[in-house]
Amino acid sequence: MSSNAPNIGDSRPQIRQLDEAAINRIAAGEVVERPASAVKELLENALDAGAKRVEIAYADGGKTLIRVRDDGCGMAPEDLPLALARHATSKIDGSDLLNIHTFGFRGEALPSLGAVGRLTITSRAEGRDAASIALSGGEMQPMRPAARGPGTTVELRDLFYATPARLKFLRSDRAETQAINDVVKRLAMAEPFVGFTLTDVTGGGEGRVTFRADPQSGDLFEALHGRLRQVLGTEFAENALPIDAEREGLTLTGYAALPTYSRGSAVAQFLYVNGRPVRDKLLVGALRGAYADFLSRGRHPAAVLFLECDPHRVDVNVHPAKAEVRFREPGLARGLIVSALRHALAEAGHRASSTVAGATLGAFRPEPVGAARIYQMDRPSPGALGGAHQMQAPVVETPGFAETAAPSARFEAVADAPEMTALPLGAARAQLHENYIIAQTADGMVIVDQHAAHERLVYEKLKRQMAENGVTSQALLIPEIVELSEGDAARLLKMADELARLGLVVEPFGAGAVAVRETPAILGQVNAGALLRDILDELADLGDSQTVQARIEAILSSVACHGSIRSGRRMRADEMNALLREMEATPHSGQCNHGRPTYVELKLKDIERLFGR
């Protein structure tokens, strides 16, 4: 490999001041990665202007046209040229870069868009005339009078025409359209009192509305719940728990779904800091940690969470795209999310998601065969009724039949107890295949997996005992010395007290080394070096570690599995009812230790619909 720098000649390199067009194009590379980035910047400007309705239109995945129209405060004609100047903004005065209460504040978006595309701004402030100004490839055009109501319309055509190389990195129109949809929906969830309309005008004409969210009313939680129903669908809204918690000046609100309403990827996780959508490793790790005890590997929680705090406690000026943040007290933010979500899940008790019942009914539904039956009358005649009653009369059992055919279901006679059917999980009526309990409720029925349900009950009992009595530690005869870098050793020793509560006792042992003196007894023989390195990896990735806790809980889960009621065991009626009552009283009993539902509830009206009643 040549030692000479390929971009530097033999003569001494000369320092030059880049012209304004080059500076804006470089800035555009940071701010505008794709059409969705431009939509995000323009939409945030509209929201900062106090818009109550925003209309977004695009063509060819945003490559040829992006238009954002709002009814915000607008701009006066003399302000339009300044709006296209680099680092000109009305959001901050520059004296305090932490006291930020708006989406935008850097003053880079509009000049950056005008440097790589054809940008036109038409705006009118209340009581002022409307005006229009254009910026194409970094060259500003003269301002012209225009006609429009109060507000602003920003039109961006031919994105990246001035930097053709960037066009090669764009994806298909379909993929770019999906990215635009995602951006609009994320911001729509952050502003439930604002109306959004997204239209695809590819090919010209009025176009096709691809997303619409009307402004919501009511208090914040009612408005947010209605907006989430519009954006994420009815299933999420029905199975989401409200979150409202506060700790030391940090506030967490939003909705988090039940564990049994989980997804195969993290596509339903939306996190906001002071109203700004972010993708932060700390917050994602906290969300994952809160559900760690309820979801199996490969399943991801669904949640929309808003973290609010004093702007001075979080730095949003980390990246030009403003998608990353840095907390002054990251441990406090993470702890608030974990504790608030776990408290909400515990408050949900035995509740399972409604999608479980929907999937069950779908499995029951027969495939349509031929034309639908045509009934000649709705009410049968007295003769037909008498014949039907006769057909339903009990048949005298032939002696010896029971010995030749083993029943697939066992009915356990129990005293009629109306007060039990009024309970959430009802009264046990039968047991199927020595594994499934059938219970009758006031308005339907419940099918319980006895092994999965009891497994969760035993697991929760073991966790309570561990929390009350602490984690028993095993002292090592000879402490294990683990060699680490000085930085890793310092990070590990910083959380030594927390590890000691979990039975793992570490002490400093010279520069860059720690001595492991005790390990959790329940883990048995432990490779201390590997365990400490796993903890350090998690600290580097998420800022916190749940490795020891997760290993202990995994063993408790295994113990609970082996100690629970096994499939194939016949249960008496009183045992089945006792299991149902304990499920009602135990948090998280709606799902087993692996994240699967422990019971399915079917409403009588849904069952009747299966039979066409």
What is the reported pLDDT for 404? 37
CA angle centred on 180, ends 178 and 181, rounded to 5°:
65
If you average pLDDT over residues 410-430, what whole number do you get? 73
475 pLDDT higher than 70:
yes
If you average pLDDT over residues 301-323, what whole number do you get? 83
The C-alpha atoms of residue 219 and residue 199 are separated, in whole angstroms, by 29
**Would you state the structure tokens that stand for residue 139, as one six-digit string?**
């060259």
Of 564, 557, 556, 492, the C-alpha closest to 528 is: 492
What is the reported pLDDT for 394? 46
Least confident range from 76-85, 173-182, 442-451, 555-564: namely 555-564
The C-alpha atoms of residue 309 and residue 325 are separated, in whole angstroms, by 12
The C-alpha atoms of residue 423 and residue 556 are separated, in whole angstroms, by 30
Of 268, 98, 305, the C-alpha closest to 190 is: 305
If you average pLDDT over residues 113-141, what whole number do you get? 90
Q: How many CA atoms lie within 13 A of 357 on its CB side?
A: 20
What is the reported pLDDT for 87? 66
Q: Using pLDDT thresholds of 50, 70 and 90, give the confidence band for residue 1.
A: very low
510 pLDDT higher than 90:
no
Of these ranges, 106-110, 228-232, 281-285, the one predicted with the greatest mean pLDDT is: 228-232
Which stretches within 143-208 are classed as H helix? 164-167, 173-190
The more confidently predicted of residues 362 and 7 is: 362
Q: What is the pLDDT of residues 66-103, one digit of tens each?
A: 999 999 999 999 989 888 877 666 655 555 556 566 77
Judge contact between 111 and 84, C-beta under 8 A: yes
Strand partners, 473: 520
**Would you state the structure tokens that stand for residue 194, as one six-digit string?**
């604002």
What is the reported pLDDT for 110? 85
CA angle centred on 397, ends 393 and 403, rounded to 5°:
145
What is the reported pLDDT for 569? 83
Q: What is the pLDDT of residues 239-255, one digit of tens each?
A: 999 999 999 999 999 99
All domains of the chain in start order, with CATH: 20-213 (3.30.565.10), 220-348 (3.30.230.10), 423-613 (3.30.1540.20)
Q: What is the pLDDT of residues 356-374, one digit of tens each?
A: 667 776 666 555 555 444 4
Of these ranges, 76-90, 183-197, 358-372, 512-526, the one predicted with the greatest mean pLDDT is: 183-197
What is the reported pLDDT for 25? 66
- Pairing label, strands 599-603, 444-449: antiparallel
Contacts 24+ apart (CB under 8 A), 83-87: 83/110, 83/121, 84/110, 84/111, 84/114, 84/119, 84/121, 84/133, 84/135, 84/140, 85/111, 86/20, 86/23, 86/24, 86/27, 86/111
The more confidently predicted of residues 267 and 372 is: 267
If you average pLDDT over residues 339-355, what whole number do you get? 83
**Would you state the structure tokens that stand for residue 51, as one six-digit string?**
């818009």
CA angle centred on 28, ends 25 and 32, rounded to 5°:
150
What is the reported pLDDT for 10? 58
Judge contact between 565 and 571, C-beta under 8 A: yes
Q: What share of the chain is helix, strand, coil (3-state, %, to 5)?
A: 40, 20, 40
Strand partners, 506: 516
What is the reported pLDDT for 424? 86
**Cβ contacts of residue 607 below 8 Å, gap of 6+?**
444, 445
- Classify 378 as helix, strand or coil: coil
The C-alpha atoms of residue 130 and residue 147 are separated, in whole angstroms, by 6
284 pLDDT higher than 80:
yes
The C-alpha atoms of residue 147 and residue 107 are separated, in whole angstroms, by 26
What is the reported pLDDT for 398? 37
Indicate the DSSP class of residue 367: P
DSSP 466-529: HHHH---EEEEEEEEEEE--HHHHHHHHHTHHHHHHTT-EEEE-STTEEEEEEEEGGG-S--HH
* Percent of the chain whose predicted confidence (pLDDT) is above 90: 32
The more confidently predicted of residues 417 and 527 is: 527
Q: How many CB atoms lie within 10 A of CB 197?
A: 17
Judge contact between 250 and 266, C-beta under 8 A: no
If you average pLDDT over residues 305-311, what whole number do you get? 92
Q: How many CB atoms lie within 10 A of CB 413?
A: 7
If you average pLDDT over residues 125-150, what whole number do you get? 90
The more confidently predicted of residues 376 and 333 is: 333
132 pLDDT higher than 80:
yes
Amino acid at 117: G
Query: For tokens 């009078």, what's the residue?
Result: 145
How far is the CA of 451 from the CAs of 232, 561, 568, 569, 580, in angstroms?
33, 8, 9, 9, 12
- Classify 145 as helix, strand or coil: strand
Q: How many CA atoms lie within 13 A of 510 on its CB side?
A: 5
Write out the H or E segment, with its range, that includes residue 554.
Answer: helix 547-563
198 pLDDT higher than 90:
yes
The C-alpha atoms of residue 481 and residue 587 are separated, in whole angstroms, by 41
- Classify 68 as helix, strand or coil: strand
Strand partners, 244: 253
* Three-state DSSP string of 391-439: HCCCCCCCCCHHHHCCCCEEECCCCCCHHHHCCCCCEEEEEECCCEEEE
DSSP 434-468: TTEEEEEETTEEEEEEHHHHHHHHHHHHHHHHHHH
Q: How many CB atoms lie within 10 A of CB 592?
A: 26
Exposed/middle/buried for residue 168 (C-beta within 10 Å: 0-12, 13-18, 19+):
exposed
The C-alpha atoms of residue 588 and residue 453 are separated, in whole angstroms, by 10
State the Cα torsion 482-483-488-491 to the nearest 10°: 40
Strand partners, 174: none
Average pLDDT taken over every residue of the chain: 81
pTM assigned to the model: 0.73
